[in-house]
Amino acid sequence: MYFLENILSKKNPLWMYVVTVICAFLAANVIGGIPLIIVALIQITNGNIISTEGLSKMDFSSMGISENLVLFLMLIPFIIGLLTLYLCIKYLHGRTFSETVNGTKRIRWSRIFSGFSVWLLLMFVYFLASYMISPENFLVQFDVKTFLPLLFLAIIFIPIQTTFEELLFRGYLGQGVAVWTKNRWFVVMIPAVLFGLMHIMNPEISTYGVWETMPQYILFGLIFGFIAVLDDGIELSMGMHAANNIFACLFVTYDNSALKTSAIFKQDVVNMQAETIVLLVAGLLAIWFFAKKYKWNLSVMNKRIKPVQQINKETCTEMQEND
């Protein structure tokens, strides 16, 4: 399929990548943030502020805004960002959506569902183990009136949010790094670090600290990036990322979470170091499973990224020599 190799023959000047990333982030954060600002201003004007401390921390629930509405308003920027990213990729680079996903004109939907199912199963196993060990650390807060709208929001809009992030980092920027470095390890590592830095403003960072939280975000990026390179496309990562965030929205939340919702359970104490270790184990298990299922060649990571024409020429030469 040549997810990375096919892009070498496309339009790849550096300025296009700079313009695309800037446009996507400005559109998401400026245009996409307008609805949230409007709702917040309305609540302030009407005097519906529960806590001035929450106002200073931009805690919108302190303004009397429901968690479901806050979640929806926070997801709008990702819709705008995904649309902007798509338009830039199409009209600046002359590529299609699917070419940014896997280098071809066809998306492997079965891979998305496979990634979703495997990661969701791993998260359920970890949650059940955590609950059995420390049931007192989880508070049941299920309310059908708030959960049903949350279920709708999570299923419809969370995949848009995660698709934007995967398409931007593992797809678009991953292919860009491939163009500049021709090195698959850099394709995994550079977008992973950028992915982590994108979350630097998340509330978990200020609560638990940069050195406690940032390794987890970067590790997520490394796992998803490694899988994308080995699988020659980002579909598995798209499914895994969607499963991760949907599970966090619907089943387990905690104070100061970026996805603070009316989930079924609320976790009292969160150990970020332990969470990072569990993430590493889960990621290794997922990589092992998919490597067996799809018969990955792990040695490909050490092979230089070459244009498809050069690969075909080398293949023909080898065939002629063997004959």
Q: What is the pLDDT of residues 168-179, one digit of tens each?
A: 999 999 999 999
Give tens-digit pLDDT for 273-294. 999 999 999 999 999 999 999 9
This prediction's pTM:
0.92
The single-letter DSSP state of residue 135 is G
Least confident of 1-5, 126-130, 274-278, 286-290: 1-5
State the Cα–Cα distance between residues 191 and 169, nearest whole angstrom: 5
State the Cα–Cα distance between residues 163 and 120, nearest whole angstrom: 16
Residue type, 153: L
Least confident of 126-140, 202-216, 237-251: 202-216
The single-letter DSSP state of residue 307 is -
Task: Please check the confidence at residue 116 and state whether its pLDDT lies above 70.
Answer: yes
**Residue 235 and residue 108 in contact, taking contact as beta carbons nearer than 8 Å:** yes
User: Which secondary structure element, helix H or strand E, spans residue 136, and what is its range?
Assistant: none
State the Cα–Cα distance between residues 143 and 166, nearest whole angstrom: 32
Give tens-digit pLDDT for 49-93. 655 555 445 556 666 778 899 899 999 999 999 999 999 999 999
pLDDT the model gives residue 56: 45
Domain count, the chain: 1
Closest CA to 6 of 306, 313, 317: 306
pLDDT the model gives residue 141: 93
What is the chain's Cα-based Rg?
21
Q: How is residue 226 written in tokens?
A: 């490694």
Q: How many CB atoms lie within 10 A of CB 143?
A: 10
User: Which secondary structure element, helix H or strand E, spans residue 140, and what is its range?
Assistant: strand 138-140
Higher pLDDT, 295 or 256: 295
Placement of tokens 């969470």 in the chain: 275
pLDDT the model gives residue 260: 83
State the Cα–Cα distance between residues 42 and 223, nearest whole angstrom: 42
β-strand partners of 138: 267
- Residue-number span of the structural domain to which 70 is assigned: 5-322
pLDDT the model gives residue 55: 47
Task: Please check the confidence at residue 187 and state whether its pLDDT lies above 60.
Answer: yes
User: Can you tell me whether residue 228 is helix, strand or coil?
Assistant: helix
Average per-residue pLDDT for the chain: 90
Q: Rounded to an integer, what is the distance from CA 198 to the centroid of its chain?
A: 11
State the Cα–Cα distance between residues 102 and 89, nearest whole angstrom: 14
Give tens-digit pLDDT for 226-252. 999 999 999 999 999 999 999 999 999
**Residue 24 and residue 88 in contact, taking contact as beta carbons nearer than 8 Å:** yes
Closest CA to 222 of 189, 251, 250, 252: 189
Residue type, 42: I
Higher pLDDT, 9 or 19: 19
